[in-house]
Structure 1
Amino acid sequence: MAHHGLRFMFILAAGLLLLVHAVAADDFNIADNATAVKRGITLTPALNGINFPDPSVIRIGNEWWAFSTMSRYNGKRVHVPMAHTFDFNTWTSFGERDALPNLPNWVYPDAPAVWAPDVVQLGPGRFIMYYTAALKSNPKFHCLGIASASIVTGPYTPIGPDPWACPTAQGGAIDPAGYYDQASNTRWVVYKIDGNSLGRGGACNNMVQPIVSTPIMLQQVRVDNGFTKIGAPTTLIVNDPADGPYVEAPSLTRMPDGTYVLYYSSNCFVTPLYDVSYATSKNIRGPYRKFGGLIRTGKYGLTAPGGLDLAINGVHAVFHANWNGGRAMFTALIRGQGSQLQVYVKSS
């Protein structure tokens, strides 16, 4: 393809120098020697903008696979839809093929509400999926499940008869994401306590005082199997007044200088305040310092962006935003040191 040149935007927000590069599809990996500035960047979604909410992404070799919240394809309910790309630019949907076709008995079968799956590789021929689903005994609550497969596309088989984590007294749990810390050879799972399911109304059921806490939790797991818990979970962040009804959709990574970055979304996803935010720490267990509004409504033509997930430490990322009545997947590259992050986004 022809080289289409570079377009750049510099934003100063929340004490963070955010350098955003919008680049042509054939120039998604680019040096940092920007010289031109152009505003009015508009992004286009992957997969031609089909509904692909809560995307997660994994890289195997030089290919990427993405997984999303339950949707329908040709009228068929697909618990965990999938997509694939060779170059992180052109994505192909797997359509009706379901990565998690069979659900465990603890899931409410009539409306399983399988949300926010995340896949990690434990080793050659060993993959584990973390996912959210509605609890059969009380569908008001969601809990976390785990499943395994020998290939990245599955089909994944649920592990055990019970949820992996199900704190119903606190509102349940959603949005699990696995993380392998190569520096310490340890494995972790971050997730959200779904306190707003116990809320008193308002936006996302949690804007009527007193606001219910929705902490982001960190659970260490055995490095060999990815699900046996080690010790008790640690609270990383909670929803402060600026976060509105909740913080959710966590994803953990480690930058080259050793800084841990916790990406998350704040405010209600049905409002324009929903965003991609982040927090940093020098210790995986915290304390974490929040930086708000990394990707917000109004930037690059997006509305209610959120749910950012990373494939490789600090590089390939996916997130979702409103598009044609659904939630489409968008892509980005993220690099940086400490709180100085550079976000590269592909332009139309």
Structure 2
Amino acid sequence: MLPLFIPISCVLLLLLTLRLYPRSASSSTATTITITAVQPRAQPKAPLLPFDFPDPCVIQDPASGAWYAFATGSNVQAATAPSPQGPWTYLPQADPLPHPGNWTAGPGSQTWAPSVHYLPSDSSKNNNNNNHGDEDGNGNGTFIMYYSGQLAAPQSALHCVGAAVSSSGSVLGPYSPLPSPLACPLDQGGAIDPAGFVDPPTGKRYLLYKVDGNALGLGGECNNGVEPRRQTPIVLQEVDPADGVSFVGEGVVVFDRGEEDGALVEAPDLVFYRDEDQEVEEGSWGGGGGGGGRGRYVLFYSNHCWDGPRYSVNYAVAENITGPYERVDGGPVIRTGDRFNITAPGGAAAAPGARWMVFHGNCPAGRCLFGADMEAQGDKVVVS
């Protein structure tokens, strides 16, 4: 899911300013969010990979220090780079998930939105102070891949969320699937777009996913443009930090489609922003982790349909991991026709600890891999 940057003289920088007011000792917090747009200067984005590489995720191998990206495909795709910014090299011979599991339609079927994470051999390392979240460790742990697997006929229109573990200990696998899916609410349309997350203040591990309600829709935009339209909730499920797959308690719906989202919300990705009043390092973004202390949770998501120009990257903010998540006024962070000049950007995921976001956008090859800086500066968030 080979840098080719085009020099241009005019640049546009968008500052997304979050004004997150202090907690009241006697009442719930009132959060006011404002957007400040600063105009000159940043250049349109060129793909990091000029190949079809949608729904990307990125991870750093703690043993080698190299970075790896994984993406949607008939089987899972892979690429590697020395840093999240690149240069990225596509790995055509890699086959991280040779078989998605007996509960799926099998090899060559649709395997969507992989999310790869490192599980340290000592699960206590999940709670750390180096902004690497669940990617921290000595390289002696293992890797887990969450993914969306296509079901076999007669339910081939539906997907469910599964998990696989690297049998070799390598980030490239091969990954061996669990015998049954993790999340498979068939009566609600199945489940897609899994994303792992470790909560820095508590060390607890979570799995997010989208209930794919539009798979049971009545047609139109992404099969959900005809009334009555289905909901497409984002679920947060705590999992055992040792294995990353055993559910702890019940899942919680933390976000859902509104009228402004069109057919759906999907592609959740959660990051944690530490409060500057805790005397910790500023700029402490981490996909799947920060450094502890109080802070704000930022839920990235895409809305509208992936095959249309209104598909975009958005986010909502909460003080607690279970919400409520408040949408940020001012529209998408990245959209068609903005300063990046990318059509239908979406499927964003943060690089753990690196203050860098990857996402896909339309290109001649399909949906190519793009990236952008994502930086916390005090009470401001900058995507550029």
Quickly name the TM-score band, shorter chain normalised: 0.7 to 0.9
1:268 aligns with 305
Task: Quote how far apart the aligned CAs of 1:100 are.
Answer: 0.3
User: Structure 1's 339 and 245: CA in aligned 2 closer, same or farther, altered over 3 A?
Assistant: farther
Paired with 1:155 and 1:323, the residues of 2 have a C-alpha distance of 29
Judge conservation of contact 2:15–2:381 (CA < 8 Å) in 1: no
1:101 aligns with 98
Partner-residue secondary structure (3-state), 1:169: helix
- Listed as ranges, the gaps of 5+ residues in structure 1 are 21-36, 72-78
Paired with 2:327 and 2:260, the residues of 1 have a C-alpha distance of 11
Task: Quote how far apart the aligned CAs of 1:18 are.
Answer: 5.4
Task: Quote how far apart the aligned CAs of 1:12 are.
Answer: 7.0
Question: Matched residue pairs, number?
Answer: 315
User: Structure 1's 9 and 208: CA in aligned 2 closer, same or farther, altered over 3 A?
Assistant: same
Partner-residue secondary structure (3-state), 1:334: strand
Paired with 1:286 and 1:314, the residues of 2 have a C-alpha distance of 25
- TM-score scaled to structure 2, two decimals? 0.78
Paired with 2:183 and 2:241, the residues of 1 have a C-alpha distance of 18
Equivalences for residues 288-327 of structure 1 within 5 A? 288-291=325-328, 292-299=331-338, 300-313=340-353, 315-327=355-367
Paired with 1:215 and 1:229, the residues of 2 have a C-alpha distance of 18
1:181 counterpart = 2:184: no
Task: Quote how far apart the aligned CAs of 1:10 are.
Answer: 3.8
Paired with 2:306 and 2:149, the residues of 1 have a C-alpha distance of 19
1:81 aligns with 77
User: Structure 1's 199 and 256: CA in aligned 2 closer, same or farther, altered over 3 A?
Assistant: same
Task: Quote how far apart the aligned CAs of 1:110 are.
Answer: 7.1
**Per-residue deviation, residues 177-209 of structure 1 (Å, max 9, x unmatched):** 001112211000111000000111111000111
User: Structure 1's 256 and 314: CA in aligned 2 closer, same or farther, altered over 3 A?
Assistant: farther
Task: Quote how far apart the aligned CAs of 1:134 are.
Answer: 0.8
2:221 aligns with 203
Q: Report the identity percentage.
A: 41
Paired with 1:155 and 1:111, the residues of 2 have a C-alpha distance of 16
Alpha-carbon RMSD across the aligned residues, in angstroms, is: 2.2
The letter of the residue matching 1:165 is A
User: Structure 1's 199 and 63: CA in aligned 2 closer, same or farther, altered over 3 A?
Assistant: same
The letter of the residue matching 1:64 is W
Partner-residue secondary structure (3-state), 1:301: coil
Higher mean Cα deviation, 282-291 or 105-114? 105-114
Task: Quote how far apart the aligned CAs of 1:70 are.
Answer: 1.0
Paired with 1:19 and 1:66, the residues of 2 have a C-alpha distance of 31
Judge conservation of contact 1:117–1:129 (CA < 8 Å) in 2: yes
- Listed as ranges, the gaps of 5+ residues in structure 2 are 1-6, 17-32, 121-139, 276-294
- TM-score scaled to structure 1, two decimals? 0.85
1:38 counterpart = 2:41: yes
**Per-residue deviation, residues 301-329 of structure 1 (Å, max 9, x unmatched):** 10000000012257122100000040000
**Per-residue deviation, residues 239-283 of structure 1 (Å, max 9, x unmatched):** 000000000000011012211010000111111100000011010
User: Structure 1's 240 and 313: CA in aligned 2 closer, same or farther, altered over 3 A?
Assistant: farther
1:130 aligns with 146
Paired with 1:222 and 1:338, the residues of 2 have a C-alpha distance of 33
1:340 counterpart = 2:341: no
1:148 aligns with 165
Paired with 2:9 and 2:67, the residues of 1 have a C-alpha distance of 25
The letter of the residue matching 1:130 is Y
- The structure carrying a bigger strand percent of its residues is 1
Judge conservation of contact 2:15–2:383 (CA < 8 Å) in 1: no
User: Structure 1's 96 and 336: CA in aligned 2 closer, same or farther, altered over 3 A?
Assistant: same
Partner-residue secondary structure (3-state), 2:227: coil
1:194 counterpart = 2:212: yes
The letter of the residue matching 1:17 is T
1:113 aligns with 110
User: Structure 1's 90 and 105: CA in aligned 2 closer, same or farther, altered over 3 A?
Assistant: same
1:157 aligns with 176
